[in-house]
Chain A
Amino acid sequence: MVVDNLMQWFESWTLWEAGSPLLFLIVVVIAGVPIFLLMAVNALVAVYAELKISAFMQDRVGPMGQGPGLHAGKWGLLQTVADALKLLLKEDIIPTLADRKLFIIAPFIIFVTPFIALAALPFNQNLLIADLNIGVFYILAVGSISVIGIIMAGWSSNNKWSLYGAMRSAAQIVSYEIPVALSIVSVIMLTGTLSMQGIISYQDGTTLGILPNWILFNNPFSFIAFFIFFISGVAEVNRTPFDIPEAESELVAGFHTEYSGMRWAFFFLSEYANMLIISGIAAVAFLGGWHSPIPGFLESPGWSLFWFISKIGMLIFIMMWFRWTFPRLRVDQLMNICWKVLLPLALLNIFGVGIWTLLTG
């Protein structure tokens, strides 16, 4: 949407001929800046939220402070700003025996993955970089590129912890892609479209009298599909309780053990951006996207943005809630959940949704 509009706007100047590759490049760069800002702000806010939520759940108060200097602002509000500054100023260390080229490229590949995935996430009626007709498919496909980056990081670090972490991560992401994709398939069977805006417009109106017509409430099978999607999504972004690639107590920090400074910050940024994307897809596919939770109430573009962001915020909060509640799973337990529980349930759901759509309509 944004890209198309910008293209038209630039073309209206008639400086460039329509469809010029140079113009396309300029428009893409302009559209990319807000995505980067979104990722950075998301990381700043989410890290602060995570510090506070983890602290509250453990009866602590988290970062606290009264002002600049040694303290980090009131209630520690400037904590993440200080962290970001520290990461920017930190020395960049590359191990001597590391595979230098791969070591340098890996964080960028991992960073680029959520960056390009965010291009297809609709924030309200108009705020969408590109409304692809295969939006969901694009996001899921692009999301698995990060495995390449993780394996590169783990391999090039020349460190046993990194390699173990990378191998575990690859196994985990490849396995959990399947339940994620299958639970999305059951949504696509209902909506009949792969476009993100199409899926959202399907969820307009009410169901069962009062409930919003979200796919979550559409039928019992899609209700279960949401949980399958969300649990596998948490596993796909390597968060606790599925954080075996980073398992602090076993693997130091997994695939990013050897990274420091800004390169490490890229891993960190992409972790929180991945959370944003998984929550975003869950919100679009199951929770009505930018639709208001009360149908027909406050549906203007501004409020739509607010509803979408608060849905994402809720889901990110639940991810953090998971993290500070559950202990880490063993590798075999992780694979057990994926292949023996989530996958059969997802397949059953597809069957159930098929029957449901046949019967109702």
Chain B
Amino acid sequence: MSKYLHDLWSSVSSSMIGMRITFKHFLRIRKGNVTLQYPEEKWPRPERNIGFEHKDYNVIRSKLHVDMDDCIGCYKCARACPVDCIKIETIKVPKGTDIGITSNDTKKRLLVNRFDIDMTECMYCNLCVYPCPEECIFMTGGPNSSKHPIDYEFSEYNREGLMYRFATATQEEIDRYTDTETPEKPTEKEETE
């Protein structure tokens, strides 16, 4: 009988201890909360020491970025891509039209109206970076951190958000050069023939 009463008492008192603990946590939620509301809050990036500076990296595999001011629309990166995740479309501009020069003083001859990189398909092989004559496609951060800061996450709410559209040509420009393209077409054919 005494064991029965003792068991009864210990079960009641230990239940009380458990309930006190959970209630304490219930009240302390503002201080004790461990959840990080991810897109709004982020953990601080940890300091790290890997023996050399960020700018001394040889190669970095991160988000691809294109500096459209320098792009001449040569398709070399699109051809190099093993998974065909780079999609480029260009419009030929009439001779003598000035659409700017690159930082390497190369005259632009093609208006790039579409430059899409599908980062869901990208496998971070870096092969598109080497053939670029203007060095305008590169991975962010590392040795390129002076051109573009690193982006670790590039997380999006939907898949469409990972389709990076770099083309800067305005609709007005596109319309202007597509109109003049039609009379040019016969001459183009003559050349190929």
Contact = CB atoms under 8 A, between A and B. Distances in A.
Interface in A100-149: none
Interface in B1-42: 8, 15, 18-19, 21-23, 25-26, 29, 32-35, 37
B157 interface: yes
Contacts, number: 39
Nearest to A336: B7
B34 to A, nearest CB: 5
Contacts of A70: 157
B35 A57 contact: no
A61 interface: yes
B33 A60 contact: yes
B37 A53 contact: no
A347 B66 CA distance: 82
Contacts of B18: 325-326
B33 A321 contact: no
Contact of B25 (A57, A61, A64, A326): A57
Contact of B33 (A61, A324, A341): A61
Contacts of B34: 59-60
Q: Is the interface of B mostly helix, strand, loop or mixed?
A: helix
B35 A61 contact: yes
A321 B27 CA distance: 12
Contacts of A341: 8
A56 interface: yes
A325 B24 CA distance: 12
B37 A56 contact: no
A58 interface: yes
A224 to B, nearest CB: 11
A53 B19 CA distance: 13
Contacts of B29: 56, 59, 61
B10 to A, nearest CB: 13
A324 B35 CA distance: 18
Interface of B: 8, 15, 18-19, 21-23, 25-26, 29, 32-35, 37, 157
Interface of A: 53, 56-61, 64, 70, 321-322, 324-326, 341
23 contacts: A53-B26, A56-B25, A56-B26, A57-B23, A57-B25, A58-B25, A59-B29, A59-B32, A59-B33, A59-B34, A59-B35, A60-B35, A61-B33, A61-B37, A64-B35, A64-B37, A321-B19, A321-B22, A321-B26, A324-B22, A325-B15, A326-B15, A341-B8
